[in-house]
Structure 1
Amino acid sequence: MSQRTLGPNSYEGQHEHRAPSDCPVCGEHLSVTRLGCTSCGTELAGMFAACPFCSLGSAELDLLRVFLTSRGNLREVEKHLGVSYPTARQRFGEVLVRLGLAEEPGPSAPAAAPPASAPKTRDQILAEVAAGRLSPAEAQRLLSAG
């Protein structure tokens, strides 16, 4: 009898489905209450801690995989995703929020204008575009003037 190697997303040759993290009826968080062994059929019932990474989608897991394999280099994430650095940073921040490792940003309050003698840096301008506080056209004008 030949042995069959099961991949990370397979169960006895069938694809596993990701368990939902929220109840489809009321929207509350679901708890893991049953575990089973695919080898011997043993089942355990009880209240088990859920894996916070299991609720992430495949795009979010891919972003984390690239981030970890590049040893935390967001420039590599930027290249992999084919987006700007501020967008890569924003997406990574969203994953941190989903994992409960960062707070959700509050409503964008208008930033206090810096003194006239302190022009904004390129990174500050790009960050404001990424946050939606500055239009791309205005950013281009500021970058061209500097």
Structure 2
Amino acid sequence: MTGGHRSAGHRPPVDCPVCGDELVTSRLGCPGCGTELSGHFARCDYCALDAKELELLQVFLSSRGNLREVEKHLGVSYPTARARFTDLLVKLGLAGDEAPADAATSATGTSDAREQVLAQVSAGTLSPEKAAALLAQLP
């Protein structure tokens, strides 16, 4: 940005603290000259990511999509890195038809599949009931 007027890293809230509805950007301002724009501006899906999700996305992109590199950078197992990336895709609405649980059942090895299911429960993207059903199906 020009003029060094960059924000100190504060991120705007995504949801209304009163009712929980999605907040919209309706005003933009220039700290340099005071110009303001008012209207209804499109939301940036990537702006709603928290710091850990942004780090995951940055590592994934900088490693050119290599999940093994993501695994090394985050210091987690491959199934955990894959589960976190799947969760990120779900949050961004980019998961397509694949549900997070589908990735867990296709993981190689029973222990990897179990670890991935548990990681999804921990991340809050899979209900404990559905996880129990998936784990019961594993050998």
- Superposition TM-score, scaled by structure 1 size: 0.69
- Match for 2:52 among 45, 59, 72? 59
Structure 1 residue 122: Cα displacement? 7.8
Matched with 1:123 is: 108
More helix as a share of residues:
2
Structure 1: distance between partners of 2:69 and 2:101: 29
**Which of 23, 27, 30 is matched with 2:20 structurally?**
27
The alpha-carbon distance between structure 1 residues 88 and 17, as it changes in their structure 2 partners (threshold 3 A), is same
TM-score by length of 2: 0.72
Query: Which SS does the other structure have where 1:131 is aligned?
Result: helix
Aligned residues: 118
Decide whether aligned partners of structure 1 residues 107 and 25 sit closer, same or farther in structure 2, where only a CA change above 3 A counts.
Answer: farther
Unaligned regions of 5+ residues in structure 1, if any?
112-120
Q: 2:10 aligns with which of 17, 28, 43?
A: 17
- Work out which of the residue numbers 38, 45, 48 in structure 1 matches 2:41: 48
Q: Name 2:99's counterpart in structure 1.
A: 105
Change (3 A) 1:73 1:100: same
Q: CA deviation at 1:101?
A: 1.1
Q: Secondary structure at the match of 1:47?
A: strand
Detail structure 1 runs of 4+ shifted over 6 Å in the superposition. none
Higher relative contact order (CA closer than 8 Å, sequence separation 6+): 2
Cα distance change on mapping 1:5 and 1:88 into 2, 3 Å = farther
Answer with 1 or 2: which has the greater Rg.
Answer: 1
- Measure how far apart 1:107 and its partner are: 7.4
Equivalent residue number for residue 6 of structure 1: 4
Distance in 1, matches of 2:74 and 2:3, equals 31
Write the distance in 1 (CA, Å) between the matches of 2:26 and 2:3.
27
Distance 2:16 2:36 in 1: 22
User: Measured at CA, do residues 106 and 123 of structure 1 come closer, stay the same or move farther in structure 2, by a change above 3 Å?
Assistant: closer
Give CA-to-partner distance per residue, 1:57-84, whole Å, 9 cap, x none. Answer: 1111001000000000000000011110
Give the aligned CA root-mean-square deviation in angstroms. Answer: 3.1
